[in-house]
Amino acid sequence: MGRIFEVRKATMFARWDRMAKQFTRIGREIAIAVKAGGPDAATNPALRRCMQNAKSVNMPKDRVEAAIKRAMGKEMDNYEEILYEGYAPHGVALLVETATDNHVRTVANVKSHFNKGGGTLGNNGSVSFQFKKMGVFKLKPEGLNVEDLEFELIDFGLEEMGESTDENGDDIIVLRSAFTDFGNLQKALEDKGITPLSAELEWIPTTTVPVTEEQAEDVSKLIERLEQDDDVSKVFHNMG
């Protein structure tokens, strides 16, 4: 088991509004999950994933419950998940996941961010073919026999397992599965009594673009600009 390549910018949400941004993102994900699969986490894997992620960022339980109740109400805004594709400077591909109640506003803002950041917003399919959508689980390594765990989880869809570090520099174990096996791997971890630090669906690049330190800084500025947009949930890149 070696190191595993991370496609998210490690300093995501590094500004003063980090916690508020995370709570807003998870609140919208809860709304989408409840609208799609109902308010019972026992029968809604997507909602369980949202609740796990809420716990990982210390989102208060009452705020999670309030988000679920709001999602069940008729007055709740209907959020739509839209994926935008484009290129940052130096040929780096970007995928931008959004959750929005106004796609006209969102596409205008995303296009503006790309233009001001020296990038280009593309059409559907112009970038996504360079990525693979996968389930990504992050675990604390303490108390785990990683070799045994890797062997046991293969039958439940585990494709990759490796070491990494979180944004605080702490060691973590990263598991990846195919998008279609996300629920199987999630349940397998639950059955083993393992609570992930986070459970996400992420776009993993199939190839990467090598960049210099200066070029990486240019790309990171665009990523940061996008991440600060209220409608943007996550940004993925293929910088090597």
What are the extents of the domains in the chain? 18-72, 80-129+207-237, 131-205
Nearest to 232 by CA among 117, 147, 143: 117
Mean pLDDT along residues 27-43: 89
pLDDT at 3 over 70: no
Q: Is 136 left (phi over 0), alpha (psi -120 to 50) or beta?
A: beta
Please tell me the predicted confidence (pLDDT) of residue 73: 78
Tell me the pLDDT band of 76, cut-offs 50, 70 and 90.
low
Tell me the pLDDT band of 237, cut-offs 50, 70 and 90.
very high
Of 111 and 31, the structure prediction assigns the larger pLDDT to 111
Tell me the pLDDT band of 9, cut-offs 50, 70 and 90.
very low
Please tell me the predicted confidence (pLDDT) of residue 16: 36
Second-level CATH architecture of 131-205? 2-Layer Sandwich (3.30)
Please tell me the predicted confidence (pLDDT) of residue 52: 83
pLDDT at 110 over 80: yes
Please tell me the predicted confidence (pLDDT) of residue 1: 59
Six-digit token string for 150: 């890797």
pTM, two decimal places: 0.82
Second-level CATH architecture of 18-72? Orthogonal Bundle (1.10)
Please tell me the predicted confidence (pLDDT) of residue 176: 95
Of 200 and 57, the structure prediction assigns the larger pLDDT to 200
Secondary-structure percent of the chain, ordered helix, strand, coil, rounded to 5? 45, 25, 30
What is 80-129+207-237's CATH number?
3.30.70.980
Q: How far is the C-alpha of 240 from the C-alpha of 226, rounded, in Å?
A: 20
**What Cα–Cα distance (Å) separates residue 193 from each residue in 139, 183, 188, 189?**
12, 15, 9, 6
Q: Is 13 left (phi over 0), alpha (psi -120 to 50) or beta?
A: left
Please tell me the predicted confidence (pLDDT) of residue 11: 41
Nearest to 175 by CA among 148, 143, 200: 200
pLDDT at 116 over 70: yes
Mean pLDDT along residues 48-75: 84
Please tell me the predicted confidence (pLDDT) of residue 10: 39
| 3-state DSSP assignment of residue 1 | coil
Identical fold between 80-129+207-237 and 131-205? yes
Please tell me the predicted confidence (pLDDT) of residue 6: 57
Mean pLDDT along residues 104-109: 96
Q: Write the pLDDT tens digit of every residue in 121-173.
A: 999 999 999 999 999 999 999 989 989 999 999 999 999 999 888 777 888 99
